[in-house]
Structure 1
Amino acid sequence: MKKDKHINIFKKEDGAGLVLALMVLMVLAVLGVAVAGVTIGSHKLGDISRDSNSAYYIAEAGANLAYEEMKNGVMPAYETSSNDETIYFNNIAGMIADFNPTVYAEKSFETQFGDQPKATITISDPKEKDDGKLYTITSIGEVDGKSRKVEKEFLVKFVPTTSGGGGGEWDLPSVPEGAALIVNGQLIMNSQGLIEGDVYSAWKSSSSITMWGDSKIDGDIYSAHSHLKEGIFTNPSNVGEHKYGKLNFLDSGDLWSEFASLPATMIQKPLDWKSYPGLPNITLNSKSESIKLSNNVYIKTISMSGESSLEIDTSNKDINIVVDDLSIWGTGKLSFIGDGKINLYINNSYGNSTTSSINANGDASKLNFYFFGSGLQLNNKTLLNGNLFVEKGSLALNTNATVTGLVVSGGTSFVAYNKAVLKSPMIIIPNGEIHLTSVAPIEGVIVAKSITLDGSSSSSPVAGTPGASGSSGSGSAPTFADLISAGPALEP
């Protein structure tokens, strides 16, 4: 009886196993869905993380590529700066302006999972830091819709080159100690021409030196012509040994080639001068005016006449002033105040007349006068108290005209006569002829393709002449590490 009762109870639970099995299957299904969701989510997160990391690495690589381009451009910018800090940083600014913005894509990065990565680069305006200029590279890397940004700072500095002769600001070729003249063609000395120092003739052809009248070389002659006395004089029978010191053979080597390329290297306009802010034309007739500059400027015309005076305050900064046409007539005076250096670039013409002056009471080493017209003439009693650079054409100094600094010309002729004054440590015209007639004694080194001394003209070197090989140590030029340095690329 009891047994039958138990059997009846179990008969009432015939579907329990099925329910239990379904419950187990349901639990497994829920677990499976959960695991699948986690797996899919993890995979998606992995893709996102992968793309985000890839975008970061692309941004970092872009910043480093941009820095390498800047680094590669620094030395050319330096080499074309004429050892001038203002020109150097203007060259850097021009290089960065041409670079901004730059996109590195298929030429720099391979596709990733069917998408083309790219890095978009911009470089900020500079900030002053540690006597240099600090720039920031911003690089945005993009991959498959994801982007990351990094920044990389780099510092650009100017380090002046010192030449073998202690040329100071200018990177000039070394000059043999005691040299007064270096010539690569004819040297003609008429009447009372006098050279107090050594003459270096790099011309290998015969008949390179002519001496007439009471002319004299109070020093030795170094000639690249192999036959020396028999070959170097056009009139050997009229040249007694009392007219010069010793004759020496000159192995010219690179002595001349270094000077030949100098004007093209030194005489250049700033690359970005056309972007300078313009000032109104300045016209003064027996009037005085003062202007204060804090940045580089362009002025189409400056015209002064009568007793006019124009004073320019540099705000103790190095300033570039580009002028198309400058004229100073009468007793006009153009002057500068402040400790900054002035680079004055004349595109077309400079008209001047008796007793007009530029920088009369200033520091000659602070003014660099660049002339790019077809010919330059300084008329009677005009004064240019600064360094003079003439790109091409002819250069002439009339009666009592004065230049007090370095003279470099890429032109074909330089004529000075009748007590013209050249207080120039060096006069360099490697592609032209210098003709001096009764000028005031020159205390410096003359370098020219050919030289003629007439009247009582004389030339002699002075201690400390730029480039003189005995005036200082061996000199030095900056390295990449001196000019540019950078930090790591980091997320801001």
Structure 2
Amino acid sequence: MKNKFRKFTFYQNQSGYMLVTVVMLLLLFSVLGMSLLALSMNSMKQSTGEVKSQSAYYIAESGATLKLKEIEQTVTALSADKSLNKAAFLSKFEQTVLTKRNAAHQLVPQRFTQFESQRGEQPEAEVSVQLMNVNLETGVYEYQIVSKGMIGERHRTVSKPVLVNYTEGKGFVMPKNLGVYAKNQMLLTNGTINGNIIMDTLTSQVLEISGNPTINGKVYVPTESTGKVFKYSSGQQWWFDSKAPIVEKQGLIQEMKMPPFPQPFPTYPMIADKLMTSGKNTHYVIKDGNININSSVAPSVTMTLTQNVQAKNINFASDYKLTLDVGNRDIALVVDRISGQGQLDVVSKDGGSLTLYVRDNIDIKNHLNISQGKDVFIYLGPSADPLKPKTFVSSSYAEFNASLYAYDANLELVGSAAFTGQFLTGGKSVKVQGNTKATSADTTVVYAPKATVELTGSGKLFGAVVADVFKLNGGASVHSSEVDLGEGPFFEETSKESNVSVESGTTLEQ
């Protein structure tokens, strides 16, 4: 009996040991299972994070691409406006494209949200554009697009360089159908303007009306202007009601600046002496550098110029005539002064021309280039005293058929003189008076952006006027016609238009 009890006790102890072992194994497997589950869940979480991170990168790339497309559309739209010069183009471009800053001077990026949601989360891209560099030699402007792609808590940032190359057109182009351009003020008492008016100022009430002037065209003001351009008394309300002038806003036109003036004048060999004989009488037409057309021995002299030369003075008397024959050559003649009662004419063929450099002034009382060829170009040098500028006066009852560029002289086109060509001056006053006229077959430009230009009497000008202040009185009139400033030597040819191109670089992650 005793042995059986011991054997029974032994079996009970063995059974308890097995139970502990099983429990320990179950615990071990549970721990291993939980660990494997945690590892699996962590792996899935990391995989989801990688997907979101990659998505954020693609969102950032897409934001940069969308902004680049907007930039290209802006360039296309602004390029279509041919009235914009380089400065105006870039100003409007940067106003549209560059990222604005808040009061704290922090960038306020543009948000793009037009992306499909991912697992209930909406992707976004924050995009900014900044100017990075300007290459003054090449005219290339470098901008940088920075795009931050975001989805959930994940975000990635990329950058893309953008180059804008503005190649400015060669020369200067006058606005089409331009009658009068005035930078600061216009006063119309009577007379007629057949063509458009440009008032290039933001100031209100700068076009003053009195009397009964006529405007057959539109009045353009800058886009930023209030549009309230006219000034008139209550007694002039009838004019405004009956004429109903059209005022429109437009983008800035190119700056009306003076072209380069050749200074100092070129130096050439002195013209050789020339003796002429008539019977027993002799006369030095050229002596010691002076050209003397003031003797009955030689009342009409023709000189053939085959090379560039210089002289001192050209002296006229008694309506005698000097004809300069340049043939098919482009000849330059430098002189100190041209004066007296006489005629100066130029003949050319096959595109030949004469460029006169006059140090002092021109004061002749008869025709200058009555042949009416567009072959005479005159540079009138600076005044000896800038505070007392010289005055150039056209001939009364004569024709002045040449283009004139005065450094700082005031111009007076008076009497019944007929004139053609381009009249440019850096002076402060231009007066067109009396019955002065230009024929409709020719185009005349009065280009004086620093001057008060005044038309009075019954003069007619076919072409355009550029002034700081413009005044119209009496029966005077301006008749707009196509103007090509490239016909003379003062402005460069205007055959080439401006060109703008956009080039984007490689997208890189920041």
Q: Report the TM range for the smaller structure's normalisation.
A: 0.5 to 0.7
Aligned residue among 175, 183, 195 for 2:193: 195
1:183/1:201 contact within 8 Å kept: yes
Amino acid aligned to 1:371: L
**1:401-440 counterparts in 2 under 5 A?**
401-422=417-438, 423-440=442-459
Matched, 1:367 2:376: yes
Q: Helix, strand or coil for the counterpart of 2:416?
A: coil
Amino acid aligned to 2:495: G
2:370/2:399 contact within 8 Å kept: yes
Cα-Cα RMSD: 2.9
Measured after TM superposition, the shift of residue 212 of structure 1 is 1.3
CA–CA distance in structure 1, aligned partners of residues 336 and 200 of structure 2: 38
2:189/2:472 contact within 8 Å kept: yes
Amino acid aligned to 1:375: T
Measured after TM superposition, the shift of residue 351 of structure 1 is 1.5
Matched, 1:240 2:240: yes
Instruction: Return closer, same or farther for 1:362/1:420 CA change in 2, 3 Å cut-off.
Output: closer
Q: What residue in structure 2 maps to residue 346 of structure 1?
A: 358
Q: What residue in structure 1 maps to residue 501 of structure 2?
A: none
The percentage of counterpart residues that share the same residue type is: 21
**1:423-462 counterparts in 2 under 5 A?**
423-462=442-481
Amino acid aligned to 2:243: K
CA–CA distance in structure 1, aligned partners of residues 227 and 372 of structure 2: 47
Instruction: Return closer, same or farther for 1:244/1:451 CA change in 2, 3 Å cut-off.
Output: farther
Amino acid aligned to 2:393: Q
CA shift digits 1:160-192 (9 cap, x unpaired)? xxx97xxxxxx652233222111101111113x
Q: Helix, strand or coil for the counterpart of 1:242?
A: helix
1:277/1:296 contact within 8 Å kept: no
Matched, 1:281 2:290: yes
Measured after TM superposition, the shift of residue 454 of structure 1 is 0.5
Q: Helix, strand or coil for the counterpart of 1:408?
A: strand
Q: What residue in structure 2 maps to residue 358 of structure 1?
A: 368
CA shift digits 1:392-449 (9 cap, x unpaired)? 1210011112221111111111001111124543221001010010243222111111
CA–CA distance in structure 1, aligned partners of residues 447 and 219 of structure 2: 19
CA–CA distance in structure 1, aligned partners of residues 483 and 204 of structure 2: 33
Normalized per residue, which structure has more helix?
1
CA–CA distance in structure 1, aligned partners of residues 457 and 486 of structure 2: 27
The answer for unaligned runs of 5 or more in structure 1 is 1-162, 165-170, 479-492
1:216/1:244 contact within 8 Å kept: no
Instruction: Return closer, same or farther for 1:297/1:370 CA change in 2, 3 Å cut-off.
Output: same
Matched, 1:332 2:321: no
Using the size of structure 2 for normalisation, the TM-score is 0.53
Measured after TM superposition, the shift of residue 458 of structure 1 is 1.1
Q: Helix, strand or coil for the counterpart of 1:336?
A: strand
CA shift digits 1:188-230 (9 cap, x unpaired)? 1113x2111111100111221011111121111111362223x
Q: What residue in structure 1 maps to residue 31 of structure 2?
A: none
Instruction: Return closer, same or farther for 1:370/1:464 CA change in 2, 3 Å cut-off.
Output: closer
Instruction: Return closer, same or farther for 1:466/1:278 CA change in 2, 3 Å cut-off.
Output: closer
The answer for unaligned runs of 5 or more in structure 2 is 1-167, 273-288, 384-389, 488-492, 499-510
Instruction: Return closer, same or farther for 1:203/1:188 CA change in 2, 3 Å cut-off.
Output: same
**1:468-483 counterparts in 2 under 5 A?**
475-476=495-496
1:445/1:465 contact within 8 Å kept: no
Q: What residue in structure 2 maps to residue 179 of structure 1?
A: 178
Aligned residue among 411, 416, 419 for 1:400: 416
Instruction: Return closer, same or farther for 1:274/1:311 CA change in 2, 3 Å cut-off.
Output: same
Aligned residue among 308, 314, 325 for 1:296: 308
2:486/2:494 contact within 8 Å kept: no
Normalized per residue, which structure has more strand?
2
Instruction: Return closer, same or farther for 1:335/1:463 CA change in 2, 3 Å cut-off.
Output: closer
More contact order relative to length (CA 8 Å, sep ≥ 6): 1
Aligned length: 294
Using the size of structure 1 for normalisation, the TM-score is 0.55
1:326/1:351 contact within 8 Å kept: yes
Matched, 1:268 2:266: no
Measured after TM superposition, the shift of residue 362 of structure 1 is 4.5
Measured after TM superposition, the shift of residue 375 of structure 1 is 1.9
CA–CA distance in structure 1, aligned partners of residues 485 and 361 of structure 2: 29
Looking at CA atoms only, which structure, 1 or 2, has the larger radius of gyration?
2
Instruction: Return closer, same or farther for 1:474/1:396 CA change in 2, 3 Å cut-off.
Output: closer
CA–CA distance in structure 1, aligned partners of residues 174 and 348 of structure 2: 34
Measured after TM superposition, the shift of residue 359 of structure 1 is 1.4
Measured after TM superposition, the shift of residue 477 of structure 1 is 8.0
2:322/2:345 contact within 8 Å kept: yes
CA–CA distance in structure 2, aligned partners of residues 291 and 175 of structure 1: 37
Instruction: Return closer, same or farther for 1:296/1:351 CA change in 2, 3 Å cut-off.
Output: same
CA–CA distance in structure 2, aligned partners of residues 317 and 270 of structure 1: 23
CA shift digits 1:286-322 (9 cap, x unpaired)? 4222222211111001101113111222142110001
